[in-house]
Structure 1
Amino acid sequence: MVIEHFNSFFIYRGEIMAQKKLLLIDGNSVAFRAFYALYRQLDRFTSPDGLHTNAIYTFKNMLDAILKQVDPTNILVAFDAGKVTFRTKMYKDYKGGRQKTPSELLEQMPVIREMLADLGIKSYELKNYEADDIIGTLSKMGEDAGYDVTIVTGDRDLTQLASDKVTVLITKNGVGDTEAYTPEHMKEVNGVTPTEFIDMKALMGDNSDNYPGVTKVGPKTASKLIQKYGSIENLYEHVDEMKKSKMKENLINDKDKAFLAKKLATIDRESPVEVTLDDTEIKDTDFEKLRGLYEKLGFRKFLAQLDQNTDAQSADTGAESYEYVELSQDNIHDLDDFSEKEISFYLGMLGENYHLAPFVGFALKASDKVYVSKDIALLQEMPLKGILENKTIKKNVFDLKRTYVGMHRLDVVTGGIDYDMLLASYLVNNENNSNDLGEIAHLYDEYSVKTDLEVYGKGKKQAIPEDDDLYKHLAAKVCVIDKLKPELLKRLKDHEQDDLYDEIEIPVAFVLAKMELSGMKVLPSTLIQLQNDFATRLKELEDKIYKQAGERFNLNSPKQLGHILFEKLGLPPLKKTKTGYSTSVEVLNQLKTQSPIVSEILDYRQIAKIQSTYVKGLLDVIQPDGRVHTRYLQTLTATGRLSSVDPNLQNIPTRTEEGKQIRKAFVPSTSDGYIFSCDYSQVELRVLSHVSGDEHMQEAFKTGYDIHSHTAMKIFHLDSPDEVTSLMRRHAKAVNFGIVYGISDYGLSKNLGISRKRAKEFIDNYFEQYPEIKDYMDKAVKEAREKGYAETIMHRRRYLPDIHAKNFNVRSFAERTAINSPIQGSAADIIKIAMINMQKKLEEMHLKTKMVLQVHDELIFDVPKDELETIKKIVPEVMQSAVKLDVPLIADSGWGHNWYDAK
């Protein structure tokens, strides 16, 4: 048979045939990568029968990505037949240092083979040989027959097979994330050709496969030697000509090891495989068997993909059983007689900041009809505006706050929103904090909707697709909101989280939306004055630093700063990085007592950051109404705490006077008005005393003792508060808050600058005086191990998949999280309840005062002058009565004509 290769086609007996492409997959390697890709979610990925499925699931995803990338005509997945091979006979310790394969992975391997067979993909193993040898042999057969060959593996040993016809794809982190090794890339990465790579391995050995090379010869040295000599055979022919050195001595002494290593590293390309290239042709998928397997494994995603193959159009639209209507000026009045009591609605915007993002369109689902349009003006016209504002028509949305604020920009006050898919999903699984509807739908095996990244692109490449694709995307979204509602609400009820959802998260979303829309007035003139003052201060600090350094240099260059501090001035270098001396804040803080230049550098850095991040940053985001409108992220943290972005107003510095000055720019909306601030006093410690039931701590809070002084008395064994010094109180405060976060004696010693032994004494004394707190901590960890999650007072869950991890550090972090999540999460719930009650109170009393900001345990209000006395009374009352604990909640307040004066 004569075959002539011509570009991407074969000419065979006068016929033009498509180029044959052979895909060879290292089954064990890819399965291993797949298993560990979702190892942290091992308990979540189990079949109804209890079989672990994380490796099977990810293997299939990786396979799909590879098939899409390579588009092969032929494929074979090679597996190892066992631990005993011709290499172990050659060297008994070959691969001897490897840990035992987890049983959770072993049980999945037969199912992976079964799945491959159902997909029409050949798998193969060969006794006494490794998968590498099968792949090496088949790749040679493919090369000889003119095939384009692609090898997929996580093992770089296989890169020795790269050639003009063979590309080796090394799997990296994510699904479909690979690095392509060609002869050219091998030269770039290792400095040697693929075949020379074998000789390189011979010199340096392989820790993973557990065979030695030449003593103290690493990758760089091995590469240089092979670049010079071409092979170990040629190297050893000339070894006597080398200059005397330790390396020469090691080469001579370890010659036998090097030649053994070469044999072990060389893939056998003539192994006695019993498969031919014809055997590797992709066969038809057995859909019946595959469906049965996916059902058995509980793989709803892959079942949905099978359905897509049979009905691609309905899967694309996500609106299989709905009438699809493009809404326009011509037919909007078809809605005049609208009588539905419940609808699902989605407002499309391009970008995350919904205060400014451009609108792309909307979709509305009512019973069996889906209305879509990109004409945003329709939302402002009757009857559509009336439908959306009607409070008696229930609305299902994705991201209540985004929808409410976006519609407000169109002068539509959306009424009747009582279901939020984003919030429901967040409570069910707060480890996932995506705010993309498509991504969240995929978590629940609903693949009829694409992600925004797939549809709009990212960054500068973002673009609105053609009308048909846009309408399909919007329709799919609104249908998924409707479709997943029963499942998500059921899960909330099963988790006893329906009250948390109905009574906290939904109401607080409305409160946050109103706060965001109100914004907070900021004076540019104050910021500009601060900008000038800080610029002067920075110049003064620069001059002082240069004078002490004896020269000018780039203060923002760690390399130049390191040279000045550690070489010129002779300060002790405490830490090194890959690029030189570390000049981190941690290092500089340890050195500041040794030279005044260090303190000035720290001051310079601090002020420079305030200048760029807060002064300039705030000037850039003041809107035309003279206000800054932050966004609150309600679904970001696993504890339920709110975060602020665009800009972050929760992170304005308070520890330095320069940082505090920024707050002077935040003022009330009226010239004679006030900024009123009220924050909880030690709310997390109060929650701790409540959940632990510790009598001593509760006694301190009930009698109004300063808790830190009280703790100082306990851990220092004092009889009177008068004996407590400021240093003792500071130490006690660190212990109090450290305990909440599960601090260790090492962590406490670092925080306080004391010995580890002394820190351990503090912690031991603490638990001796507060024994129920230690009991609570032990119980919290025990319950988390049993349940797999920790829970707040209001049943907010924090899933802890690492609570059973074998790795001590990973497991310890999960245990600390089990202890502090109920405390932090309950504190977050309390402030949310206070916000809900406070907004309700303001509206009931018809006050003009507006709640404008939340900074964790603090609420800030914009108060007209004539309402100040009322606010002074009602805000602390509402905050202190938010929940009933075994100890009183205390809220401290202050007020002034700007935020700085209110503290």
Structure 2
Amino acid sequence: MRQLLSTLFIQSAENQSLFIFSEIEMKILPIFAMMEFVGIGFNEKICESGREKVQNKINYLEYKAKVLLPGKVFSLSSTEDISQLLFQDLKIPVPEIAKANQQYNGNKGGGGCGGGVRRQNYSTKGAVLEHISHHHPLPGLIIEIRKLTHHITHYVDILGKYEYHSDRFNMRRIYSTIQQTVVPTGRISMAFPNLQNISHPIEFRVAPSETDLQSQDSIKSFQDEIHTFDYTNDQNFKNLLEIESRCSFTKVSLRNSFTCANGYVLLSADYSQLELRILTHYSKDPNLIEMFNYSRELDVFKCIAHQLSGVDYEKVSDEERNFAKHLVYGILYGMGINSIASELKVDKEKAKVQLERFKNTYRTLIDFLESIEDRVFIDAYIKTLFGRIRNFSAIHDPKTLPKDIGKIKRGARNSVPQGTAADITKLAMINIQSQFDQLSINVHMVLQLHDELLFEVPLTDIDQSAKIIKESMENVVKLNVPLPIKMSIGTNWGSLESFNFNFTYSQQPKNKYPNN
């Protein structure tokens, strides 16, 4: 063992990656252990309240589908039934994308809407449903049901398996597992449960109450072929639309379920465009350097949209800003023109025009990104700013297929900014925890979400803790552009508000929900 360690140390020293091992990975290890031990507060009442709203909406949408298809027996969780309803019963024209994965199934049990007849099943994936949604309301209903069902089965139900009562904090908490060595770029991942993959808030119109629906007539079977049913003149359907119009919109955020212990607040610190700033440092692109150094308050993606479109900075719309943001990250991560067009929701020709404008405006950045791809063919590895190495030796393997070469090039391109960002975040965490320990401040680091850190901070130490966090994160390394962070505060993760110093107890955001 001693000989093995000695050999590994010599090799690490030779390739200049010893710093990663000794100064980052070994020093971050006890911090991750403490994060696993502390966990994060969880309010199951908030979670269950959101689940109930979502389930009520699912139930209502399924009822609405029955109104649209009177007399039909079906299950909207069955892709076979959905295919039968859409393309055979409703006779919606089958698009080419639905034919790619068609199957033939025999339903010997006689259930569902196909009886015992052997039937042709076309794909009913989301892209197909979007494509045919103008023909009939049913595809849109299915899309919404799937989205809401996914929220429950992939997030809500999973979290419930990992909540435990904490005597120390006198509340329910979730304890996740941090995986330090799984992601080759140096990022961490989480499991059991994955708290880095909590769903975004979902917004929908509240389902009508049972009282509202009592005025509905019972659904009567439609005797003719269902594709001839005129739902637009059906009184039941018209009544539903009228009842729906009176229902307000609601937003369900699973993050609202994550809260803090009594006497604490949650404080978030999030790097702004960290990976783009890292690439700016590497590439020394003059336009990006000037932009990032102009003002910390400058909206970078709004400025890029201005430079690409010629629209005045102040007049750039949210849509134009988001377009620029998606374009930038599509280019940074090596997406092809078809993927970029799909991401931007534009045709291929418009995507090409925008791509060329970006390349011409930020030529130095593009040259650097292409040099990463060229260099990996020679070295078969990439190295981050701090010496972390990611091996791509498969690129020299004669068995490697041409399609896999593209994946390697994209992987190399991604690894430089992503790996450096991971190193920067870990170094900041080490510096922050060191200062908390020296000053005996009882702050709990509860989550690392790639470029964002979430802390549970005592009400008595908010300003001091925030100052340590801000200075440590923004000054962890000297680049040719600043590394500003955005801070926000609150009593639950889903409703954090912008943080300003001199925050006092009297200003504490009101928690709409008790912890217990």
Task: Assess same fold via TM > 0.5.
Answer: yes
Query: What residue is the counterpart of 1:770 in the other structure?
Result: 362
Cα separation, 1, equivalents of 2:440 and 2:328: 41
Give, in angstroms, the shift of residue 603 of structure 1.
1.9
Q: Distance in 2 between matches of 1:852 and 1:785?
A: 40
Instruction: After TM superposition, list the pairs within 5 Å mapping 1:546-585 onto structure 2.
Output: 546-550=66-70, 551-571=72-92, 572-573=94-95, 574-576=97-99, 577-579=101-103, 580-585=121-126
Deviations 1:384-439 (A, max 9, x none): xxxxxxxxxxxxxxxxxxxxxxxxxxxxxxxxxxxxxxxxxxxxxxxxxxxxxxxx
Cα deviation, residue 516, structure 1: 0.6
Mapped contact 2:20–2:388 kept (Cα < 8 A): yes
Q: Deviations over 1:304-353 (max 9, x none)?
A: xxxxxxxxxxxxxxxxxxxxxxxxxxxxxxxxxxxxxxxxxxxxxxxxxx
Long gaps (5+) in structure 1: 1-479
Change in Cα spacing, 1:845 to 1:693, as seen in structure 2 (3 Å) is same
Q: Deviations over 1:137-190 (max 9, x none)?
A: xxxxxxxxxxxxxxxxxxxxxxxxxxxxxxxxxxxxxxxxxxxxxxxxxxxxxx
1:614 and 2:155 aligned = yes
Identity among equivalent pairs (%): 29
After superposition, the Cα gap between the structure-2 partners of 1:528 and 1:730, relative to the gap in structure 1 and judged at 3 Å, is closer
Q: Distance in 1 between matches of 2:455 and 2:404?
A: 42
Distance 1:594 1:647, change over 3 A: same
Q: 1:620 to 1:807 in 2, by over 3 A?
A: closer
For the residue of structure 2 that corresponds to 1:627, the secondary structure is strand
Distance 1:724 1:802, change over 3 A: farther
Deviation at 1:660, TM superposition (A): 5.7
Aligned to 2:188: 642
For residue 46 of structure 2, the aligned residue among 518, 523, 526 is 526
Match of 1:666 among 258, 261, 269: 258
- Give the Å deviation of 1:688: 1.2
Partner of 1:847: 441
Distance of 1:764 and 1:674 partners within structure 2: 47
Partner of residue 308 from structure 2, selected from 707, 715, 721? 715
Distance in 1, matches of 2:8 and 2:350, equals 50
Partner of 2:179: 633
Deviation at 1:553, TM superposition (A): 1.6
Tell me: CA distance 1:592–1:688, structure 2 relative to 1, closer, same or farther (3 Å).
farther
Q: Distance in 1 between matches of 2:256 and 2:355?
A: 40
| Displacement of 1:518 | 0.6
The amino acid that maps onto 1:679 is D
- The match for 1:539 among 49, 59, 79 is 59
Specify the structure having the higher radius of gyration (Cα).
1
Q: Tell me what 2:18 maps to.
A: 498
Q: Distance in 1 between matches of 2:315 and 2:392?
A: 43
Q: Which residue of 1 aligns with 2:345?
A: 753
Q: Distance in 1 between matches of 2:130 and 2:4?
A: 52
1:708-739 residue CA offsets vs partner (Å, 9 max, x unmatched): 122212322x1621342333222211111111
1:829 maps to which residue? 423
CA distance in 1, matches of 2:134, 2:472: 47
Structure 1 residue identity aligned to 2:483: L
Q: 1:592 to 1:859 in 2, by over 3 A?
A: farther
What secondary structure, in the 3-state scheme, does the structure 1 residue paired with 2:195 have? coil
Distance in 2 of aligned mates of 1:772 and 1:834: 29
Q: Secondary structure, in 3 states, of the residue corresponding to 2:164?
A: coil
In structure 1, C-alpha distance between the alignment counterparts of 2:130 and 2:476, rounded to whole Å: 41
Change (3 A) 1:591 1:887: farther
Higher relative contact order (CA 8 A, sep 6+): 2
CA separation in 2, counterparts of 1:855 and 1:899? 12
How far, CA to CA, are the matches of 1:840 and 1:596 in structure 2? 58
Structure 1 767/887 Cα, relative in aligned 2: closer, same or farther at 3 Å? same
Question: 5 Å matches for 1:96-115?
Answer: none
The aligned runs of 1:771-786 (5 Å cut-off) are: 771-786=363-378
2:64 and 2:18 map into 1 onto residues whose CA distance is 61
TM-score relative to the length of structure 1: 0.45
CA 1:489 to 1:594, structure 2 compared with 1: closer, same or farther past 3 Å?
Answer: farther
CA distance in 1 between counterparts of 2:437 and 2:86 reads 60
Indicate how the Cα distance of structure 1 residues 871 and 603 shifts in structure 2: closer, same or farther if over 3 A, else same.
farther
User: Cα deviations across residues 811-846 of structure 1 (Å, max 9, x unaligned)?
Assistant: 222122222210111111111111111111211221
**Cross-structure match for 2:476:** 882
Equivalent residue of 1:650, what SS?
A: helix
> Cα distance 1:633–1:606, how it changes in 2: closer, same or farther (>3 A)?
same
Aligned counterpart, 1:902: 496
Q: Secondary structure at the match of 1:851?
A: strand
1:863 aligns with 2:457: yes
Q: State the alpha-carbon separation in 2 of the partners of residues 802 and 735 from structure 1.
A: 29
> Any conservation in 2 of the 1:660–1:900 contact (CA below 8 Å)?
no
**Cα 1:549–1:634, aligned 2, differ >3 Å: closer, same or farther?**
farther
CA contact under 8 A between 2:332 and 2:369: conserved in structure 1?
Answer: no
Find the aligned partners of 2:457 and 2:410 in 1 and give their Cα distance.
Answer: 41
Change (3 A) 1:575 1:483: farther
Q: CA offset at residue 597 of structure 1?
A: 2.6
Superposed, 1:115-514 pairs within 5 Å as 480=1, 482-514=2-34
For 1:706, the aligned partner's letter is: D
Confirm or deny that 1:796 pairs with 2:382.
no
2-structure distance, mates of 1:544, 1:623 = 38
Can you give the 5+ residue segments of structure 2 that lack an aligned partner in the other structure? 104-120, 167-171, 205-250, 498-516
| Offset from partner CA, 1:854-873 (integer Å, 9 cap, x none) | 11111111122212232333
The CA RMSD over aligned residues, in Å, is 2.0
Letter of the structure 2 residue corresponding to residue 569 of structure 1: L
Alignment CA distance shift 1:487-1:676 (3 Å):
same
Residue 892 (1) aligns with residue 486 (2): yes
**SS in structure 2 of the partner of residue 570 of structure 1:** coil
Partner residue of 2:142 out of 581, 586, 601: 601
Amino acid at match of 1:710: C
Residue among 286, 290, 299 paired with 1:706: 299
1:501-520 Cα distance to aligned partner (Å, 9 max, x none): 11111111111111110111
Q: CA deviation at 1:594?
A: 4.5
TM-score normalised by the chain length of structure 2? 0.77
Aligned partners of 2:383 and 2:461: how far apart in 1?
A: 39
User: How many Å separate the matches in 1 of 2:198 and 2:445?
Assistant: 18
Q: Give distance in 2, aligned partners of 1:700 and 1:825.
A: 24
The verdict on how the C-alpha distance between 1:591 and 1:527 changes in structure 2, with shifts beyond 3 A counting, is: same
Q: 1:636 offset after TM fit, Å?
A: 0.7
Asked if structure 2 preserves the Cα contact closer than 8 Å seen for 1:673 and 1:865, the reply is yes
